[in-house]
Every structure is written in C-alpha cells, then in structure tokens.
Amino acid sequence: MLSFFKDYKIFGIVFGVISLIIIFIIYYTLNVYQPLPIYQPAMVSTALVDSTIQHQRKYHKIADFSLVNQNGQTITQKDYLDKIYIADFFFTTCQTICPIMTNHMAIIQKEIIQDDDIMLLSHSVTPEIDTVAQLKRYALKKGVNDKKWNLVTGDKKEIYKLARKSYLAVKDNGDGGPFDMVHTENFMLIDKKKQIRGFYDGTDPEDISRLLDDIQILKQEYTQ
C-alpha cells in the first residue's frame, strides 16, 4: 500500500512538471514577439496607391519633404530622424472627419508626451487656406504641443504627392489643382527607417487603441 502511494506521488510530481512545461510552451508560443509588417505599395489596396507604384514590392520609404509648421519653422525629415511618428492629412476648416481625427491625435499626444521616440505630423490638404497663422490658431485651440506635433502647410503638389506616393493614403484622383482634394481618415505609423508599419482609421477609437498598442510593439524592434 505504501509503495502504491509512493509510486503515485512520483507520478504526480512528474505529471505536474510536464504540465508546467506544456503550459510554459503554450504561453510562450501565444505571446512570442511578432514584428509589425513593413507595408509596400503592392500590399495595400489599389484604392489607396498611386497607379505608378502599385506593383512595387520592396524598398518603399517616405520621401524627403520640406514644409512649414504652425510656428513658421521649416520641417523636414531631419526633424523626424530616428523617430517613430504618426502622420495624417487634414484641414482646419473641415467640419466632418477632421475634428474627430484631430481629437484622436490629441489623445495619442497625451499618451506619448513623455516618450522622446514618438512624434506626430499632420499635413494640411488646403495649404492655400491653412497659412502659418491659421495653423497656429488651430494648434492653440486643439492643445498641440509644439515639441511633439507639427501641423504643416506648404506647396500643395508636394503635400499631395506625399499623400499618394509616400504615405499611400489616397488614390491619385487629380493633379493637385484647385478642385483636387485629398480627404482621408487614415493615420499612418512610420518607423525610424521611414517605412510604413500600420494603417488606422483616425475616426475609430478602437483603431486608436490598436495604434497605441502597435507603437509599443514597434518600439521592441529597437530593444532587440
């Protein structure tokens, strides 16, 4: 009888150890680090990609730019060097999706305010209206922190080219003329190598939460 319980005790210990190993393996498998995709034009809906680059499968990066922010300062890629950033396209007189997007960007700003690795970049799609003075008024109204978030204006063709050929935010549907309008709810997550790592609906609170989670996933790439 004692031998039976002794054998049972040994069996129980072995079974317990094996169970813990199995649990650990399952936990590790389910929680293993999965990097974010690097989006190429060929991976994105043709509704969002300029026709001239629709079939590009590698080497896509955000092009260099030179725009002016709410303080009249020239903003280029150098201001975002070695930064993760979130980009979008808006205009200050928009009464539909832009106020929601800007409010959500303000929420993101609050979440990343202490993180020196993260910045924000909002491009005006009506630069003829959104002068530096207009952007400054809007920035003050929306609580923009100048160290974290640039609202930029500049040459309309340059901004629209960025939207269509760099950020893959909207399909080419015009020539940047007076009746041509980029109007997209997309937020784009850009990594330190100027690559697109995620697209999000800037009007959707759930997508904003997903974006914040993805920022933390992306940051792990720089600690591996």
pLDDT digits (tens, 9 = 90+) for 8-67: 555 556 555 565 566 544 444 455 779 999 999 999 988 788 888 989 999 999 999 999
Return the amino acid letter for 26.
I
What's 126's domain CATH number? 3.40.30.10
B/e letters for 38-65, b = 16+ CB within 10 Å, e = fewer, are: ebbbeebeeebbbeebeeeeeebebeeb
Examine the domain organization and report whether 28 and 63 are in the same domain: no
Examine the domain organization and report whether 86 and 195 are in the same domain: yes
Return the amino acid letter for 11.
F
Tens of pLDDT, residue by residue over 173-193, are 545 444 456 778 999 999 999
Examine the domain organization and report whether 23 and 56 are in the same domain: no
**Domain span holding position 9:** 1-32
* Residue 31, pLDDT score: 53
123 carries a ligand binding annotation:
no
* Residue 29, pLDDT score: 45
94 carries a ligand binding annotation:
yes
Examine the domain organization and report whether 1 and 88 are in the same domain: no
More confident residue, 17 or 105: 105
Give Dmax over CA atoms of the chain in angstroms: 94
Least confident of 7-16, 116-125, 195-204: 7-16
Tens of pLDDT, residue by residue over 78-97, are 999 999 999 999 999 999 99
* Residue 46, pLDDT score: 83
Examine the domain organization and report whether 17 and 86 are in the same domain: no
Examine the domain organization and report whether 143 and 167 are in the same domain: yes
* Residue 47, pLDDT score: 79
Tell me the β-bridge partners of 119.
85
Distance CA 44, CA 54 (A): 8
Residue 143 has pLDDT above 90, yes or no: yes
Examine the domain organization and report whether 117 and 157 are in the same domain: yes
Examine the domain organization and report whether 105 and 166 are in the same domain: yes
- What pTM value is reported for the model? 0.83
Examine the domain organization and report whether 105 and 7 are in the same domain: no
Examine the domain organization and report whether 18 and 93 are in the same domain: no
Between CA 157 and CA 221, with CA 60 as vertex, the angle to 5 degrees is: 125
* Residue 49, pLDDT score: 83
* Residue 48, pLDDT score: 81
Of 188, 160, 148, which is closest to residue 91 (Cα–Cα)?
Answer: 160
Examine the domain organization and report whether 20 and 63 are in the same domain: no
Examine the domain organization and report whether 13 and 85 are in the same domain: no
Domain tally, the chain:
2
